[in-house]
Amino acid sequence: MPTASRLVAALAYAAVAYLAATLYIPALPEGTQATYFPATSAVIAALCGWFVGGPLSGKGYRAAVGVGIRTGVTMVFWVAFAFSLRGMVLKSLKKRYGGPTEAVLDIPAQMADYAALMLSVEVIGTLVVGSILAGWLTEWAARRWD
């Protein structure tokens, strides 16, 4: 059921993901095209905010910190998975895998590579602080309008 807290969560986490993705782009290897990276990350984060952060709101501001971090981690996982899956498909179209099992097993390896590139103070700080603020904002919306 659509609620104000779900809408606020979707918008807040989309903003956090867009900002973090913009800060993440310089860490990508030279020649990597990141044209739609911030926008795609924001869409995935909006879905995470709608389906994870929004329904868990309304339990207090202390719990909102945990909900914010949980939604942020979920958001990072799905963004990394989506772009790793995309990378796997692009590599498989170039016939760089020996078989389908090798292609599927490359997805977690690519996710680990993306996570290693993300280890910077700016990106991690943006994700942690932004997720906590988005959790508090979602909690505020739940108390005010739900």
Residues 81-130: pLDDT tens digits? 999 999 999 999 999 999 999 999 999 999 999 899 888 899 999 999 99
Q: What is the DSSP letter of 98?
A: S
pLDDT reported for residue 35: 87
Does the pTM surpass 0.85? The reply is yes
| Distances, alpha carbon 131 to alpha carbons 39, 79, 110, in Å | 18, 15, 24
Q: Where are the domains of the chain?
A: 4-145
pLDDT reported for residue 146: 81
Instruction: Tell me the pLDDT tens digit for each residue of 23-50.
Output: 999 988 888 888 899 999 999 999 999 9
